[in-house]
Structure 1
Amino acid sequence: MDLLSLLGIVLGFAAILGGNFLEGGAVESLFNGSALLIVVGGTVAATILQTSWQTLKRAMIQARWVFVPPFVSLEDGIGKVIDWSVKARKQGLLGLETLAEREPERFARKGLQLLVDGAETDTIRGIMEVELETREQRDLESARVFEAMGGYSPTIGIIGAVMGLIQVMTNLEDPQTLGGGIATAFVATIYGVALANLLFFPMANKLRGIVRDRTRYEDMMIDGLIAIAEGENPKSIELRLRGFLR
């Protein structure tokens, strides 16, 4: 669990509620079902309109990465590659076959299988880089979905505010309701801006960071596999791969 992501969301919305309270506003004044329906419904509708089903489905699944990111440890990856290189020097590339069968990571398992099959280094690099780039682009599309939602929600919030003001203007004969009606109308703007800047844009940026970390990890894996295929000794491989650490 990424506690920083959870803390960020809680602090962001707590700041809005707390600031409203300190200004003397009632907390219930910030809760309006019709405004929420307009902003959330309109944002989701616009996002669905511009996004394919597969991309939208993948984005919703990967949204959990913001709170439960996929475990990526460069240190563990380096240790894994070193173990492979030691075994390859002792038993040859065919000795990696059992490791390939037991490897839980699909990307690494594919690279090991290419080593066992005796593929040329250029072939290994080409196949692995195509897979890496394809997966990276798919994952970045998920981040762009939330970025699009962050772009739409403030505008939809303004639409909700204008719709509320239209209702206020139709009841000008009752001055006592004008203040409350106008305040309610602008709640939609708060929803749109808050969702964009406290949720959607941060989620998009967090997903991009996770994708970058996974790409760095898999780049390191490719370099390690190529080094094993070229017969480098484990110590040299370790020194090379440690360059990927920040």
Structure 2
Amino acid sequence: MKATTAIGIALACILIALGAIMEGTQLTALINIPASLFVFGGTFGAVMAGTSFERVKAIPRLYQIAIKGEEPDPLERIELMARLAEIARREGLLALEAELDQIRDRFTRKGIQMVVDGTDPEVLREVLEIEIEALEQRHGDARRVFEKAAGFAPTMGILGTVLGLVHVLQNLDDPGSLGPAISSAFIATLFGVGSANVVFFPVANRLKELTDAEVRLRIMTLDAVLAVLEGENPRVLREKLVSFLPPELADQAAAGAQSSAGRASAAGAPAGAPAAEPVAA
């Protein structure tokens, strides 16, 4: 589900608010502009000071990716690579050039282009591995903005609380105001710890999950591209790529392969002849 991150953050906020209400807390007490400035303004400034302005400008887009981003479909990639392997074995590697415009993924397209160009397998592997490492580095740099924010926010909350308590100590001559003032001071800590653990860390973790999924898919694609270059049997290639998948997806891929094999056998059989038994994946 694309909206898992947004649903999780919203659910956490609602349940925390519900718990506070059950404890007798008035939610209107949480509307505290000074505490918000301490925590969110201070955190934003600290993050900006520790990274580039380009990274800061990318924060809204990264939130969008974390909330709407969907992990790539490895089954679709397996089908694509198996089809390309079949074309390469039947018509030769140069026939893959006609397929390049239909390959949407830039990494896969680059690998197949290098196959068409007759690139040495070791050079091809080295180039694509560099692409994977560069992807991890770029995504890691972007994700660290949220990890830094998660580290700064609780500290800013404590700073806001300390400053609030300083104000309380300066007004000890008015006992009636001590309770609300102390309560207001601790709201900054609540904002800092809450935002770190409900927003910043979950977003960073979600971005890491998306990166890990993309890296796994690219490693699988790299092996597939090398197999196409070496003229590997499409069925063997499919078996190899399915081994990258978790059990539930592997079963789904195996069922799809059997169905495809059954349809192909039926289509190629003489009229009235029974379809050949599909090869188990």
TM over 0.5: yes
Residue in 1 that maps onto 2:244: 244
Taking the aligned partners of 1:105 and 1:56, their CA distance within structure 2 comes to: 27
Alignment of 1:95-244 (within 5 A): 95-244=95-244
Q: Provide the aligned C-alpha RMSD in A.
A: 1.3
Return the offset for 1:219.
0.4
1:91 counterpart residue number: 91
Offset of 1:70 from its aligned partner? Answer: 4.0
Provide the rounded CA distance (Å) in 2 between the counterparts of 1:53 and 1:94: 45
Secondary structure of the residue that 2:68 maps to in structure 1?
A: coil
Match of 2:52 in 1: 52
> By how many angstroms is 1:65 displaced?
2.1
In the alignment, is the contact (CA less than 8 A) between 1:59 and 1:143 conserved in 2? no
1:64-75 to 2 correspondence within 5 Å? 64-75=64-75
Is the 1:43–1:152 Cα contact (8 Å) retained in structure 2?
yes
Supply the distance in 2 between the matched residues of 1:126 and 1:55 (Cα, whole angstroms): 29
CA contact (8 A) 1:161 1:187 kept: yes
Deviations 1:114-142 (A, max 9, x none): 11111111111111110111011110122
The one-letter amino acid of 2:175's match is P
Distance (whole Å) between structure 1 residues aligned to residue 142 and residue 67 of structure 2: 15
2:103, 2:58 → 1: CA distance? 24
Which whole-Å CA distance do the structure 2 matches of 1:7 and 1:55 have between them?
25
| Alignment match, 1:32 | 32
Secondary structure of the residue aligned to 2:148 is helix
**Deviations 1:187-240 (CA, angstroms, capped at 9, x unpaired):** 000000000011111111111111110000000100000000011110110111
Residue 178 of structure 1 deviates from its aligned partner by: 0.8
Structure 1, 45-54 or 119-128: larger mean CA deviation: 45-54
Partner of 2:19: 19
**Deviation digits for residues 154-211 of structure 1, max 9, x if unmatched?**
0000001111111122222211111001100100000000000111111111111111
- Displacement after TM superposition at 1:64 (Å): 1.7
Conserved 8 A contact 2:220-2:241: yes
After the TM superposition, which of the residue ranges 165-174 and 192-201 deviates more from structure 2?
A: 165-174
Q: Does the alignment pair 1:41 with 2:41?
A: yes
Question: Does structure 1 retain, via aligned residues, the 8 Å contact 2:30–2:187?
Answer: yes
Deviation at residue 58 of structure 1 after TM alignment: 4.2
Unaligned runs of 5+ in 1: none
Q: Which moved more, 1:60-69 or 1:128-137?
A: 60-69
Q: Which amino acid aligns with 1:242?
A: V
CA distance, structure 2, for counterparts of residue 203 and residue 146 of structure 1: 7
Residue 61 of structure 1 and its aligned partner are, at CA, apart by 2.3
TM-score, normalised by the number of residues in structure 2? 0.84
Higher relative contact order (Cα pairs below 8 Å, separated by 6+ residues): 1
SS at match of 1:150: helix
Pick closer, same or farther for the CA change 1:38–1:21 going to 2, 3 Å: same
Q: Where does residue 7 of structure 1 map in the other structure?
A: 7
How far residue 21 of structure 1 moved from its aligned partner, in angstroms, is: 0.7
> Does the 8 Å CA contact 1:56/1:142 hold for their aligned counterparts?
no
* Ranges in structure 2 where 5+ consecutive residues have no aligned partner: 247-281
Query: 1 CA distance for matches of 2:94 and 2:71?
Result: 29
- Tell me the amino acid that sits aligned with residue 21 of structure 1: I
Cα drift, residue 60 of structure 1: 4.1
The CA distance in 1 between the partners of 2:120 and 2:213, in whole Å, is 27
**Any runs of at least 4 consecutive aligned residues in structure 1 with deviations exceeding 4 A, and if so which?**
none
Contact 1:103 1:109 in 2 (8 A): yes
Q: TM-score, normalised by structure 1?
A: 0.96
